[in-house]
Amino acid sequence: MPPPAPRRASRRSFLALGAVGLSSLPALRGLAAPGRRPRATSVLVLFEQGGVSHVDTFDPKPDAPAEHRSPFRAINTNVPGVRFTELLTRTAAHADKLAVVRCMTQPKPGIGNSHPKGSQYVFSGEPPGGAEEMPDIGSVVSRRLGTAARHLPPYVMVPGTSEQQDNTRVGFLAAAHQVFKTGGRPHEPGWAVPNLSLAGVAPGRFKDRTDLLGSLDVGIPGAADARDAKTIAGLRDQAGDMLTNPNTRRAFDLAAEPLRVREAYGLGHRGQCYLLGRKLIESGVRFVTIDCREPPSAAYPGGGNMNWDHHDHIYSEKDTSIRGGGAGAGRWGIQTWPMMGSTDRAFAALLADMHDRGLLAETLVCFVTEFGRTPRINDRKGRDHWTHAFSFAFAGAGVPGGRVIGETDREGGYVVTPRAHPVEDYAATVYEKLGIDRSQPLYTPGGRPTYPGHAGEPIPELF
């Protein structure tokens, strides 16, 4: 089970920290692998939850049997020989920045039919159910590398309000490495992350309180040199920095972005979440995960759960409800705006924006999902879960763009190239890009060594 959320401090609390307690803050120093040259200093994960259909997006199959073939034609990208489907028309113009891995697989039993377990698998890079509950990759990165910006958490999820939000884990690590979730709907006017303020305490008074707190250990033998005391003092200072530094709120302030930039991403929920991801990376957050879906609204009737779980009526021009109901109700058709329409626009804008700002040089961008969808259409006009083959896409941090890695058969059902990559390889790739030594253990409170990412191998073509 995930650890309880940090307790909300009252207005009378000593530091008046609001919901951002000391336990939410990052360690002040981390452990990169000695002698390794990291290609990435930060990671932006775009987790499109529900199981994106690979044959309708990154892995077109124009020669599949007509009764099961995607209705969306294969199109050329800006890289000769690399083709996506027309649902990725905007992204196709940035294929030179992307490496698409078409040979992802998820062979672990019991995970393929479980969105919660599949999501936890992607968050942690480790199959759920082991001897130890493994922390998220972002939490491990927080523990190993610490923060790059004292006024911001090292691991942030935007917005962290979907049905899979409870499947993030800090595992055996200290609560300091738990993900910080922004909450809310960033596309709505006036949205702001709550409790990033002093809760009515004047800055001068706040400083007096922190100075007093710092003096409380005076006279305790050895207190100044105790490791735990130093850590707590450092976290206390960082808490103050988060609450008093105007750059904290600025990092989350979408209203400060020019309208043309916001429009380029799309003014809906997904577009603004992707844009916030870029802002957080640019502001110094080490690891950002975007886990968003269009929230229920009158504009999309029947769209009560707009993830990618298209068991029913995947090509509907509106909602996916069918007579008698089905597991895929609550979505809209894959080609509609709240689904791939907004995704294509937001992803293309993100790639262009990060490239123009120079952020791709040291940021690894990962477009991921927990599994793919069946190459054959079911009797409800949908596609079910499929773990044997699906696609991830990567950009930045030295990833060679314009590449396709791996191949599936003519229907997109099975990997036909010599090597398939499980989710563990994705995790190992992230760690390797960041220069984290996977051979060095992290220890549980009971002293048991664990090796996050050790079960996988970095995907060699991404280096």
pLDDT digits (tens, 9 = 90+) for 214-235: 555 545 455 445 445 444 555 5
The C-alpha atoms of residue 210 and residue 233 are separated, in whole angstroms, by 10
Of 232, 249, 266, the last residue of a domain is 249
Residue 14 falls inside a structural domain: no
pLDDT digits (tens, 9 = 90+) for 136-148: 999 999 999 999 8
Residue 176 falls inside a structural domain: yes
Query: Same structural domain for residues 226 and 317?
Result: no
Query: Same structural domain for residues 68 and 145?
Result: yes
CATH number at residue 340: 3.40.720
**Residue 29 exposed, middle or buried by CB count within 10 Å (0-12, 13-18, 19+):** exposed
Of 249, 284, 315, the last residue of a domain is 249
H or E stretch at 393: strand 390-395
**Residue 46's beta-bridge partner residues?**
290, 367
Residue 16 falls inside a structural domain: no
Residue 47 in this model has a pLDDT that exceeds 80: yes
Of 217, 249, 281, the last residue of a domain is 249
Residue 11 falls inside a structural domain: no
Query: Same structural domain for residues 372 and 242?
Result: no
Count of domains observed in the chain: 2
Which residue's structure tokens are 């999309």? Answer: 300
Query: How far, CA to CA in Å, does 288 sit from each of 30, 149, 282, 369?
Result: 17, 13, 11, 15
Amino acid letter, 68 = H
Query: Same structural domain for residues 189 and 257?
Result: yes
Q: How would you label 105-140 residue by residue, b for 16+ Cβ within 10 Å and e otherwise? A: bbebeebbebbebbbbbbbbbbbbeeeebbbbbbbb
Mean pLDDT lowest for which of 163-172, 229-238, 244-253?
A: 229-238
Query: Same structural domain for residues 242 and 322?
Result: no
pTM of the complete model:
0.87
Query: Same structural domain for residues 139 and 53?
Result: yes
Output 17 or 175, whichever has higher pLDDT: 175
Question: What is the domain range of residue 227?
Answer: 198-249
Average pLDDT over residues 86-111: 96
Query: Same structural domain for residues 188 and 204?
Result: no
Residue 275 falls inside a structural domain: yes
3-state secondary structure of 47: strand
Q: Assess contact for 198 and 160: CB atoms under 8 A.
A: no
Number of alpha carbons in the 13 Å side-chain half-sphere of residue 451: 10
Query: Same structural domain for residues 226 and 307?
Result: no
Query: How far, CA to CA in Å, does 320 sit from each of 17, 300, 303, 307, 316?
Result: 44, 11, 8, 12, 6
Residue 3 falls inside a structural domain: no
Query: Same structural domain for residues 266 and 386?
Result: yes
Residue 273 falls inside a structural domain: yes
Residue 422 falls inside a structural domain: yes
Query: Same structural domain for residues 390 and 419?
Result: yes
Output 5 or 443, whichever has higher pLDDT: 443
Query: Same structural domain for residues 155 and 259?
Result: yes
Nearest to 433 by CA among 396, 402, 406: 396
Query: Same structural domain for residues 76 and 212?
Result: no
